Chain A
């Protein structure tokens, strides 16, 4: 709330500490488990701090369980989803942010409506469509559907960023004799870059984390993405908890790094998008 003086009483830090504990503990516990040798993991006395720190679970998960493959698949799918979504939504965002045209409001409404199409309800028809196209267990199917799902929100964000750039900048550049594409690349794109980065990270995190469609559209273990690989491992009869925890930490690293880098823009972008 709007307290102008610094609130530093001791009591204030109790709820903050609880908030941190609630958030951090599951992460800590996974890290803790991943660093213990298998014998210590299944021991009946619980170790809150690992005694014999080892990286064997990481080596095991990466080499034997197949997280190297899953990681590669996830990177491939996520990067191409980001590229495709950014390109397509940038075009749409430019149209929405810069032009007045017939059907604009209808299109905006369509974009908003897509947000209410339940994802779990797409799994049967998409499975049928991609089987007919011969794209089951092909990363292209995931790239296409992830992009489509992300385009509406990304386009709305982009149009917001674009309409925030003063039109006069473009006009004065054209008067100076710059061609349309020169204006785009030299004037608009640099100003848009922070917005594009925030949107791209949002898209990356979605593609990196998506589970249900990936599960449905992949039936070849060599094509699993990380979430599907983790789920598959959890479902095994003899779960190797140490390797499972290590695999989770591996899967966690890219999104944590991106999140830490762009946390501020992400939060501002999200906040702006749902502002009433």
Chain B
């Protein structure tokens, strides 16, 4: 007690300063990331909401100023593309995430078996994950092409079609064609993460099941899937967000056409922004998209009962 009351010695002062420094250190270490995240993520998001209430048209600068909710009213009452692009997004996300999950799980199960060249097979299977969306678009565009494309040639040889199909420019096939191309790039993500999940399942569970005479299907249903549940919930959520926003393939393969049949919501925003005239309207679309995505993510986490015991 006496010591604490006594005048601080120089040694104690140094100790105090050292303590203060120690307390400040983590905040100093975090400072650069905080500055960058605020400046280039949070501030831009805030301006989206601000612009959405403005007339902000860079092709008509005289038309600037407060717009109230008129951008929003226009979107909900006049904009047919708003509704059709949302519907397309819904189809896009469901089919991409669903198919990627199912096929990715099949790939992961295969790659989890012990077989010759397994390492090589894993490397090759995961490869598309490192390849850009634009590159994927080029590859599939070359294969889909109506005149020089290999798919038409194969289908013709097999006898399934009689004349060449324009996969990407007919409203019947375009959406399906882009979905298949995006699968190629999306499956490896699930294969990787699910394989990591599979490797964490204790071997004993399967041994016990074998003693009980369980079939492979039983094992899948009562051991593998429940054990993978948290991984599946988290990866699918990440993919839902990612596929909702994904435009690389759509932009490069179809540009949202033909006749807006492949126009998803993010593609619609991108097109509005890149054509770059009406930023106020585009910002209102963006703000709505952000809110939809937030609600979807929240509901998804709530209903999937993430982190609860199965």
Contact = CB atoms under 8 A, between A and B. Distances in A.
Interface stretch (A40-48, A52-60, A168-176): A40-48
A127 B48 CA distance: 11
B33 A274 contact: no
Chain B residues touching A, majority SS: helix
Nearest to A12: B115
B27 A30 contact: no
Interface residues of B, number: 108
Nearest to A154: B33
B245 A276 contact: no
B123 A260 contact: yes
A178 interface: no
Contact of A19 (B121, B153, B297): B121
Residue among A19, A205, A274 with the highest chain B CB neighbour number at 10 A: A274
A121 B296 CA distance: 16
Interface string A99-136: 10100100100110011111111111111110000000
A231 B134 contact: yes
Nearest to A248: B138
A211 B269 CA distance: 15
Contacts of A267: 122, 126, 192, 195-196
A205 B148 contact: no
Nearest to B196: A271
A138 interface: no
Given A44-B147, A114-B41, A124 B138 contact: no
Contacts of A208: 132
Contacts of B203: 2
Interface size class of A (residues with CB under 8 A): 35 or more
B238 A115 contact: yes
B57 interface: no
Contact of B273 (A115, A216, A231): A216
A212 B247 contact: yes
Interface stretch (B67-75, B171-179, B228-236): B228-236
A26 B139 contact: yes
Contacts of A96: 30
B273 A124 contact: yes
Interface string B46-67: 0110010000000000000000
A51 to B, nearest CB: 15
Nearest to B138: A248
Contacts, number: 291
Interface in A74-96: 87-89, 91-92, 94-96
Nearest to B283: A124
Contacts of B142: 29-30, 33, 241, 244-245
Interface stretch (B80-88, B94-102, B285-293): B285-293
A15 B113 CA distance: 12
B127 A23 contact: yes
A41 B244 contact: no
Contacts of B244: 118
Contact of B274 (A5, A216, A259): A216
B135 A121 contact: no
Contacts of A110: 37
Interface in B193-248: 193, 195-201, 203, 205-207, 216, 219-220, 224, 228-231, 233-235, 238, 241, 244-245, 247-248
10 contacts: A3-B113, A23-B125, A48-B150, A91-B29, A117-B41, A227-B248, A256-B127, A275-B231, A276-B228, A276-B229
